Amino acid sequence: MLLGALEAGGTKMVCAVGDETGTIYDRISIPTSTPEKNMPELTAYFQQYDIKALGIGTFGPADLHPASPTYGCITTTPKPGWQNFNLMGEFQKALHIPIGFDTDVNAAVLGEAVFGCMKDISTGIYITIGTGVGVGVMVNRQLLHGMLHPEGGHILLARNPADSYKGFCPYHENCLEGLAAGPAIEGRYGQKAVTLKDIPEVWELEAEYIAKALVNYILVLSPERIVLGGGVMHQEQLFPLIRQKTTAYLNGYLTTKQLEDMNNYIVPPSLNDNQGILGCLQLALDAL
């Protein structure tokens, strides 16, 4: 059975066709532009295939409540042209098939839960740290929505006293995204993160902010595993630093078997960057 998957990111739109086993048969990547440019490209791709359902994981904020009049819409995004855009509705008009709809990071955590490193747990979080920071949350094998959906990239952090960078988030001067996403690293040092790989102080500060955030997530959500993905986390030297600092900030307050095995608690994605697409396939299957 063919299923469609759309991982709609702020930088690129990844379209794929696969099946319920997680086999991916085809995919394309389209730079994110405007709805006027992107929607004909996206719908034309899926119209080539006899897909039975489509799963969409989108950048947000997005309305995930089926009873809401704006269900399926991207809402207050700063992405030009996409504010209050009915993404799900446009695909329904073009394809006339069931559609599953969630955030891109919830799709990623779902992919890991069904096909990857969260198969053996009931509560976990997936954090992407790249051009922005997003947090997907699974609680008792269910994706967390609540009032809207988790916006964990905007939790407020204690700033390092030596850090004079004001943050790039237009809403908060000291949120995780504003202090630790890729644009923050570039704004603080005047170079892209990839060129700073061999400068230890860059990654010490980055690990500090990420670890402070993880402590908050650990204390509030009690996850059994934390997956860290996104472009910034391709700097693999971050993982041991983050594990060490998270342990130090918890300061012995919690004692669990998970926290005693940090190498298997704070981990990279396990699905070769396919976690979002695989989660979208599962959203499509669930929509049937």
pLDDT tens for each residue of 50-97 = 999 999 999 989 999 999 999 999 998 888 899 999 999 999 999 999
Q: In what order do the strands lie in the sheet with 99-103?
A: 24-31, 12-18, 3-8, 54-58, 99-103
The reported pLDDT for the residue numbered 224 is 98
Q: Give one DSSP letter per residue of 146-211, joined into a string.
A: TTS---GGG-B-PPPTT-----S-SS-SSBHHHHHSHHHHHHHHSS-GGGGTT-HHHHHHHHHHHH
Distance between CA 101 and CA 72 in Å, rounded?
7
pLDDT at 189: 97
- Tens of pLDDT along 219-257? 999 999 999 999 999 999 999 999 999 999 999 999 999
Question: How many helices (H) and strands (E) are present in the chain, helices listed first?
Answer: 8, 12
CA angle 101, 104, 110 (to 5 degrees): 80
pLDDT tens figures, 134-157: 999 999 999 999 898 999 999 999
Q: Domains plus CATH for the chain?
A: 3-103+273-287 (3.30.420.40), 117-267 (3.30.420.40)
Tell me the whole-structure pTM to 2 decimals: 0.95
Q: Is the dihedral of CA 150, 154, 156, 160 positive or negative?
A: positive
